């Protein structure tokens, strides 16, 4: 699913060309039916451009003003486009975690497109960086996981103004679980620095953390911080 996404119809197609053609047809239908018929988009071509630019920023902080400037549209127009994309489940916004509103933390959301196959079609084969694509896939897996829990946990990210970031924070029943994502076959204690810093700031609520990675073995890489392979976590 990391490569072609979760649409069942894609997996019924044989070969790369057939899969790509189905995804392209799906995108065309989406534009004509879900967006064109809604009637809120005056210029479909501009919407397509905005969708691509937003897609290329998957797993990044969403700056509406930056995107509006890049394609010479108003911030309100970009905001409406993002609302349409989220309402039609093309992307999700992940809100930042903060308890103290006076602390210097990033308070803008991150944007994630929700299907790896569509990301390839919208952003191009090489348009999305390896790390961002992997983080996006892990995000979608956590979305699916938390929706089937008896009590659905909340999900955030954490980033300070100085750049210290934890990819995901799961919050449930007074406990915080910091999660880092590494698109690598091996991880070490160095990769746990951000989680360690977050745990130090939230000693009671965050007793341990995890690093999701592409390796083969689970193990403790630092005190109370565990590296867990994606295949094991999302089995």
Domains of the chain and any CATH numbers: 8-93+109-128 (1.10.10), 140-233 (3.40.1350.10)
Parallel/antiparallel/unpaired status of strands 225-229 and 219-222: antiparallel
Residues recorded for the chain? 235
Chain mean position to CA 176: 19
Q: Answer left, alpha or beta for residue 103, where phi above 0 means left and psi between -120 and 50 means alpha.
A: beta
User: How far is 84 from 54, CA to CA, in rounded Å?
Assistant: 12
Q: How many CB atoms lie within 10 A of CB 177?
A: 19
Write down the H helix ranges in the chain.
Answer: 8-12, 16-29, 44-56, 64-70, 75-87, 116-123, 130-147, 193-201, 230-233
**Backbone Cα Rg of the chain:** 19
Go through 211-233 and write b for each residue having 16 or more CB atoms within 10 A of its CB, e for each that does not: bbbbbeeeeebbeebebbbbeeb
What is the rounded distance in angstroms from the CA atom of residue 107 to the CA atom of residue 101? Answer: 9
CB 168 within 8 A of CB 146: no
| pLDDT for the residue 126 | 65
**Cβ neighbours of residue 70 closer than 8 Å, sequence gap 6 or more:** 53
Reference 74, options 46, 101, 96; nearest CA is 46
- Does the pTM exceed 0.85? yes
Closest of 98, 88, 84 to residue 42, by C-alpha? 84
pLDDT in 10s for each residue of the chain, 235 residues: 677 777 778 777 888 888 888 888 878 877 777 776 665 677 888 888 999 999 999 999 999 999 999 999 999 999 999 999 998 888 999 999 987 655 667 789 999 999 888 888 888 766 678 899 999 999 999 999 998 998 999 999 999 888 899 999 999 988 999 999 999 999 999 999 999 999 999 999 999 999 999 999 999 999 999 999 999 998 7
């Amino acid at each position: 699913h990391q490569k072609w996404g979760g649409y069942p119809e894609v997996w019924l197609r044989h070969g790369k060309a057939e899969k790509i053609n189905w995804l392209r047809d799906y995108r065309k239908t989406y534009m004509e039916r879900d967006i064109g018929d809604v009637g809120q988009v005056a210029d479909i071509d501009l919407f397509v451009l905005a969708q691509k630019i937003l897609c290329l920023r998957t797993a990044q902080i969403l700056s509406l003003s930056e995107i509006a400037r890049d394609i010479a549209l108003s911030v309100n127009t970009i905001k409406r486009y993002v609302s349409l994309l989220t309402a039609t489940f093309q992307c999700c916004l992940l809100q930042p975690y903060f308890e103290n509103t006076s602390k210097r933390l990033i308070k803008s959301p991150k944007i994630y497109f929700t299907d790896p196959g569509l990301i390839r079609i919208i952003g191009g084969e090489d348009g999305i960086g390896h790390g961002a694509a992997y983080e996006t896939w892990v995000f979608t897996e956590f979305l699916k996981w938390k929706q089937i829990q008896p009590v659905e946990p909340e999900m955030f990210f954490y980033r300070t103004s100085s750049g210290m970031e934890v990819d995901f924070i799961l919050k449930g029943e007074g406990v915080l679980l910091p999660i880092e994502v590494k698109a690598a076959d091996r991880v070490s204690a160095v990769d746990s620095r951000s989680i360690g810093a977050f745990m130090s700031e939230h000693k009671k609520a965050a007793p341990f953390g995890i690093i999701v990675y592409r390796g083969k073995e689970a193990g403790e890489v630092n005190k109370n911080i565990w590296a867990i392979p994606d295949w094991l976590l999302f089995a």
